[in-house]
Structure 1
Amino acid sequence: MSTGILVTGLGVVAPHGHDAASVFEAVARGESAVRELPMDLARPVAAATVDIDLTRWFNKLQSAGVDRVSQLAVAAADLAVQDAGGIGHAAPERIGIYVGCGMGGAAALDTAYRSTSGRVSPLTIPAFMPNAPAAHVAMRLGVRGPVLTYAVACASSSVAIAEAAKAVRCGEVDLAIAGGTESLIVPGVVLTWQAMQTLATFTAGGDAAMRCCRPFASDRSGFVLGEGAAFLVLESAGRAAARQAPKRHAELAGWGLSCDATHLTKPDAQGQQRALRAALQLSGLQPADIGYVNAHGTATKAGDAVECEAIRAVWGEALPGLRVSSTKALHGHLLGAAGALEAVITIQSLVRQQLPPQAHCDTQDPLCDVPLARAGEPLARPLEAALSSSFAFGGTNSSLVFKRA
């Protein structure tokens, strides 16, 4: 079985770099992009931020009233389109944009709330609205088809990619630009996450922040925030062949969506299993066919254990042939953009036939008893298919299956 949906373009603006190859290479080496931030808060803050000159896409006049979350989206979408060889071969009305964004323009809101002059920019509303990134991408690229935003917490961009693939598959669009963006590392937002007690703890000073996110480890204490954007260009195999697309990174072979419908913030293993099984069923693959899972793995006590329970249940006797890692340990949790960045890394693992190793897990929690990818471990067999999962507050679960093209 084949969906016939190919990934012909990749674009990333991430803490590790600005192209898919360099991002994957850094992650494969186990390099952490997490740093302690000089933020004037009661508790120390660790996060993974993006270092990029955005004047390539926005001059000073253009950037006025455009939040960083939208600027990152425009940059990553443009890079994806360039990687795909452009989009001039498709009618603008037949191109769709599908963007995941969990919280919108956090910097614009934070600036408005902290205004001491009593004056708030009239551009605050269009800057922070969650659909602003998609709108800016559409305006920059001249896209006139469906331009949609998915705000599904940590599953936002994974859901956006799945919905884009459905639109291509059913013929609603000829080409889809799908992914996500997030930039919310501002004091007000960080304080809210600290209040939830979900962020990793560490001792201020030195390099402790770099290793503070430890998915699946017995001493894990939570996640670290990250920012960035990542986009995929999706099109049918027939169209890619007809236009002689310069790259065929992978096939998006399946996707599965489900809802726990049990609790707003507590994950549910059965709900996650439903998404995993649905993605496998659509792809026509069996669990044994999947060699690698880029796990949601946020390094929270409950989240990691529940996800591993779901993986064990789905893979069953095929579990020993699987390898799992959560790359959030190195690039942070991009929330609304997490699924898209992790999809790019998963695709690169297929292209390069290399597994991103699990970082910072010196002692694995017995409740997280799944086979982790380890540094230096050779592939036991060619990597033909891999899966990336995103599980969100609100109970939405999304899994994407990719195959070698």
Structure 2
Amino acid sequence: MSKRIVVTGIGATSALGGTAPENWQNLLAGVSGARPLTHDWVAEYELPVTFAAEAVVRPETVLERPQAKRLDPASQFALIAAMEAWADAGAPEVDPDRLGVDFATGIGGVWTLLDAWDTLREKGPRRVMPMTVPMLMPNAAAGNLSLHFGARAFSRTVASACASSVESIASAYEHMQLGLADVVIAGGTESAIHPITVAAFASMQALSRRNDSPETASRPFSLGRDGFVMGEGAAVLILETEEHALARGAKIYGRLVGSAVTADSHHITAPDPEGMGASRAVRQALEQAGASPDDVTHINAHATSTPVGDVAEYTALRSVFGERVHDIPISATKASTGHLLGGTGALEAVFALLAVKERVAPPTINLTEPDPDIPVKASVEPQPLAEGPQLAITNSFGFGGHNSVAAFASYDD
């Protein structure tokens, strides 16, 4: 594999903001996106968790009504982030046969599916929308992005739980190295803050229950961490061969230099406590990048704020980096954004990319009582990165034992 792949556009919408710059600015400022849920269904179903990190800009305020009505909220978020990223990339002129989509979701159109079930039970089959299946299918976001941008090279969907969107970035990298496209719209989306998912995650003891203090509930690497905070939104990266980008004079944020996907084969929900699958993914991503662990200057950790997951990730990182893991600036950005499930890796990839570009590691909020068993270099303030070339990795791990890692390098060195 020898093609140089660059990032020429980014877009994001989440609990921190409706655009990528807003997300980045609020992340650096230490803002928390978690807040109480105000929906009637919280009390109706007596949910044990009454808060989440909902996207601050609602899709219906951005998209035209006829367009929004034909899309599940997950696809709405995907389209909004993709339109921002495409415009940020300068709306590149590209042969449709050389434009691809690699996109991800962990769950897909859960709102459409369950709303249709309610309609069937309450009003009968004639009232179920004809567009129900095209809206709920997991590939709906990728398909609609392909339609919107005229991407005909391919339109592919990854659904690997919380590892999904970094895996989609890895797939895009591979597809571009194979010469299948010059430009790829890559990323992920999720809109699953629904009573059934809140109840289900709470039932398995995965969610924080700090209903009295939502903004401090997500506490990665902290002694008192008790689970993650559900988030929603989408993020998109416009990936382009360097040759194509330079030919059109595009601005370049950085390079996607490597990626990897592995499996734990350990447990359907719990990570391998030794982190062997995760550490192999990190090593393989660095090998593909032609880099060594000593070259890494920043890590965006998966760090969901669960008692088991954070320790397993630290174990994996220590096996790769040795004692140096204690000196690499690490960020756990889910503390601010919540956990976007299948969309979270794409958002964190945007953050890792901006970290190497701006030479600053974002803060990890709520880290007031660090766990002595996870002695990483995470800071409650933004951490300046050292001078010189930058190389960041971003980790995503998901139910099913999925591990995905992407590596980004600075471009101007």
Using the size of structure 1 for normalisation, the TM-score is 0.95
1:56 CA drift (Å): 6.9
Q: 2:202 aligned with 1:194, yes or no?
A: yes
User: Residues 348 and 2 (structure 1 numbering): CA distance in 2 closer, same or farther, change over 3 Å?
Assistant: farther
Aligned pair 1:309/2:315, yes or no?
yes
Q: Which residue number in structure 2 is paired with residue 52 of structure 1?
A: 57
* Matching residue of 2:215: 210
Aligned residue identity for 1:94: R
**Counterpart among 101, 124, 136 of residue 128 in structure 1:** 136
Give 2:262's aligned residue: 258
1:329 aligns with 2:309: no
Q: Distance in 1 between matches of 2:90 and 2:382?
A: 35
What are the superposed Cα offsets for residues 302-345 of structure 1, whole Å, 9 maximum, x if unpaired?
Answer: 10000001111110142243011210011000011111000001
Task: Name the structure 2 match of 1:362.
Answer: 368
Q: Which amino acid aligns with 1:114?
A: D
Q: CA RMSD in A?
A: 1.7
The aligned counterpart of 1:4 is 4
Q: Is the 8 A contact 1:3 1:252 kept in 2?
A: no
Pairing 1:236–2:244 present: no
User: Per the alignment, in what secondary structure is the counterpart of residue 226 of structure 1?
Assistant: coil
Change (3 A) 1:369 1:134: same
Superposition deviation, residue 348 in structure 1: 0.9
The yes-or-no answer on 1:222 pairing with 2:230 is no
Q: SS of the residue aligned with 1:114?
A: helix
Give the Cα separation in 2 of the matches to 1:367 and 1:302: 12
Amino acid at match of 1:26: N
Q: Which amino acid aligns with 2:308?
A: A
Question: Cα offset for 1:362?
Answer: 1.1
Map residues 60-99 of structure 1 onto 2, 5 A cutoff: 60-88=65-93, 90-99=94-103
Amino acid at match of 1:342: E
Following TM superposition, the consecutive aligned residue runs of length 4 or more in structure 1 with deviations greater than 4 angstroms are 380-383
Cα 1:200/1:297, change in 2 over 3 Å = same
For 2:263 and 2:128, locate their aligned partners in 1 and report how far apart those are by CA, in whole Å: 39
CA-to-aligned-CA distance 1:365-403 (integer Å, 9 cap, x gap): 122122213415444545611110001111111111100
Q: Which residue of 2 aligns with 1:280?
A: 286
2:49 touches 2:202 (CA, 8 Å); kept in 1?
Answer: no
Q: Distance in 2 between matches of 1:94 and 1:393?
A: 33
Q: In the comparison of the two structures, how many residue pairs are matched? A: 400
Give CA-to-partner distance per residue, 1:141-161, whole Å, 9 cap, x none.
Answer: 111120011000001110001
The equivalent residue for 2:169 is 161
What whole-Å deviation, never above 9, does each CA across 1:221-278 have from its counterpart, x for those lacking one? 0001111011111111111111111x10010011111111121111120110100000
Question: C-alpha deviations, 1:127-168, integer Å up to 9, x for none?
Answer: 111011111111111111200110000011100011111111
Distance 1:144 1:56, change over 3 A: farther
Deviation, 1:65, is 3.2
**1:98-152 superposed Cα distances (whole Å, 9 cap, x missing partner):** 1111111111122123332234323221111101111111111111120011000
- Distance in 2 between the 1:304 and 1:3 partners? 34
| TM-score where L is the length of structure 2 | 0.93
Q: What is the Cα deviation at residue 3 of structure 1? A: 5.0
Q: Secondary structure at the match of 2:51?
A: strand
Whole-Å separation in 1 of the counterparts to 2:180 and 2:382: 44
- Please give the secondary structure, in 1, of the residue aligned with 2:377: coil
Q: Is the 8 A contact 2:15 2:233 kept in 1?
A: yes
User: Unpaired runs of 5+ in structure 1?
Assistant: none
> What is the Cα deviation at residue 181 of structure 1?
0.7
2:161 aligned partner, one-letter code: A
The one-character-per-residue Cα deviations of 1:29-80 (angstroms, maximum 9, x if unpaired) are 1100111112223223221111325457632223223111111111111111
Match of 2:189 in 1: 181
The Cα shift of 1:281 comes to: 0.8
Separation of aligned partners in 1, 2:196 and 2:211: 21
For 1:383 and 1:184, the matched residues in 2 are separated by 38
Q: Given that residues 262 and 402 in structure 2 are in contact (C-alpha distance below 8 angstroms), is that contact kept between their aligned partners in structure 1?
A: yes
Match of 2:17 in 1: 17
Structure 2: give runs of 5+ residues left out of the alignment.
Answer: none
Question: 1:197 deviation in Å?
Answer: 1.1
Instruction: Tell me the SS of whatever aligns to 1:368.
Output: coil
User: Which amino acid in the other structure matches residue 223 of structure 2?
Assistant: S
Contact 2:36 2:50 in 1 (8 A): yes
Name the CA shift for 1:191/1:210 in 2 (closer, same or farther; >3 Å).
same
Paired AA for residue 112 in structure 2:
A
Q: Deviations over 1:337-356 (max 9, x none)?
A: 11100000111111211111
Partners of 2:379 and 2:288 in 1: CA distance: 26
CA distance in 2, matches of 1:210, 1:363: 16
Q: What one-letter code is carried by the residue in structure 1 that aligns with 2:238?
A: V
**Alignment partners' CA distance in 1, 2:232 and 2:156:** 21
